[in-house]
Chain A
Amino acid sequence: MIVAEHINKYYGKLHVLKDVSLTVARGEVVVIIGPSGSGKSTFLRCLNYLETIDDGYITMEGQPIGKKKLSDGRLVDDSRKNIYRLRSRIGMVFQRFNLFPHQTALQNVMEGPLTVTKIPVAEAKARSLALLAKVGLADKADAYPVQLSGGQQQRVAIARALAMQPQVMLFDEPTSALDPELVGEVLEVIKDLAREGMTMVVVTHEMGFAREVADRVIFMNDGCILEEARPQEIFTNPAHPRTKEFLSKIL
């Protein structure tokens, strides 16, 4: 579904992603773990072109992301329009929710379908209400983000991303900004998505969650993928000493 090959990215002199390659199959749940500053967020943001990459290439279902193949095989920057269309097929959920504060929960969820896909209002509303019900917030449709708890806000944010009917969902530490007692309700929603077969890339420090839903766990360190394995293997018998050290600190 998503293929990233030899991604390199620099912030000025800082080499944040070093030759990162990753393939995500349809329906697969990939969890990325790693210490702070290792480039997890940056990598995720490259996948939907919120960040540009300096080298390498990314494809989604065979289509290059942010680049376009010319007839002679050269890659050039894609048109803005194609990038926008591509982003609309990739859902993203942020650590700090980023709900639109001037809109109600329902309006937040409807915003994408109305502004981007431009479907009729009635249809957008029906779809959005169904999604709010799915994340357990049918009764909060008319609440503004400030009137919601962190866990509720994040669930609205998930519904907002789902409203675009994405083929892939990217989660960047979706529970890191939440009080401990609110983490569970958000993870439940993500687990449901996994059960439904949604393709997902999840950056998280929730190891229990990773163990339960991940098909594969990736350990990133200092801009590199150091190790990738099935959760049982990586948690019980990590191959790399750096992984072992990281896990011993976090578990």
Chain B
Amino acid sequence: MRIGPIDVEFLLAIMPILLKGALMTIELTVLAIFFGTIIGLFVALMKISRFKLLTVFGGIYTWVIRGIPLLVQLFILYYGLAQYFDIQLSPKAAAVLGLSICGGAYIAEIFRAGIQSIDKGQMEAALSLGMSYTQAMRRVILPQAYRRLLPPMGNEFIALMKDTSLVSVITMVELMRSGILLNSTYIRSMEIYLTVGIIYLIMTTFFIYIINLIEKRLSISDAS
């Protein structure tokens, strides 16, 4: 059956494989956000720490990771480690690792900017009550910072979701690679890649919708 130029039957035939790929894309995104956020928080705290060594380490991390294309990083993790240290990561391990490390560097910058945007008087007021640095961060600085973090974090999460398509090159079967594999069988590039694109679009749109929802929730409960 065809509707105009669209071969509905063909689309229905490839859809289960693409949807399975899309599920893997979502899984990779969620894992990358989870680990990337943890890495990002630690690197951000390093970068604003009063210990010079930590500051330098945090600085090098974000400099190197943000300065090298994710694609190259993935090749190094997947093929490079295998050559030099005999560490053969599974495609999924390399994918999650690479995406988290990379996402972590960008998220660290978002955290750092958010934390540093909080007036210095807040930290001083907290310290003058006798709080430790950690208590002041946890009770005073971070609760104020996270409201400002949400919009840039949302952007970063969406970027991460799209970046998961890069892991197709290290044979990780997610949405993009499912498309590539299907195309090598059917050689119907337009229909396959257009469908892949539309599935990405639906997922990112849904993602944006959720983030907006959370933002609205926060601004309602936030009387200040």
B144 and A94 contacting across the interface, CB-CB below 8 Å: no
Could you tell me the distance in whole angstroms from the C-beta of A240 to the nearest C-beta in chain B? 32
A144 and B135 contacting across the interface, CB-CB below 8 Å: no
A84 and B128 contacting across the interface, CB-CB below 8 Å: no
Q: Does B121 sit within 8 A of A, measured CB to CB?
A: yes
5 contacts between A and B (CB under 8 A): A48-B128, A81-B132, A98-B125, A115-B131, A115-B139
| Chain B 204-224 near chain A by CB (<8 Å), digits 1 or 0 | 000000000000000000111
B125 and A94 contacting across the interface, CB-CB below 8 Å: yes
Q: Does A112 sit within 8 A of B, measured CB to CB?
A: yes
A84 and B121 contacting across the interface, CB-CB below 8 Å: no
Query: A94-B121, A115-B135, A116-B135 given as contacts; is B128 within 8 A of A101 (CB)?
Result: no
A-B contacts counted at CB < 8 A amount to 74
Q: Does A96 sit within 8 A of B, measured CB to CB?
A: yes
B224 and A88 contacting across the interface, CB-CB below 8 Å: no
A116 and B124 contacting across the interface, CB-CB below 8 Å: no
Interface size class of A (residues with CB under 8 A): 20 to 34
Cβ of A112: which chain B residues have Cβ within 8 Å of it?
A: 129-131
Query: Contacting B143 at CB < 8 Å: which of A96, A102, A160?
Result: A102
For the residues of B in contact with A, the DSSP-based class is helix
| Chain B 108-132 near chain A by CB (<8 Å), digits 1 or 0 | 0000000000010110111111111
A: residues with CB less than 8 A from B are: 48, 50, 80-81, 84-92, 94, 96, 98-102, 111-112, 115-116, 144-147, 157, 160-161, 164
Interface residues in B146-205 by Cβ distance below 8 A to A read 147
Alpha-carbon distance between A44 and B160 when the two chains are bound, in angstroms = 48
Q: Does B45 sit within 8 A of A, measured CB to CB?
A: no
Query: A115-B135, A144-B224 given as contacts; is B128 within 8 A of A102 (CB)?
Result: no
Could you tell me the distance in whole angstroms from the C-beta of A85 to the nearest C-beta in chain B? 7
Q: Does B140 sit within 8 A of A, measured CB to CB?
A: yes
Residue of A nearest to B120 (CB): A98
Alpha-carbon distance between A164 and B130 when the two chains are bound, in angstroms = 9
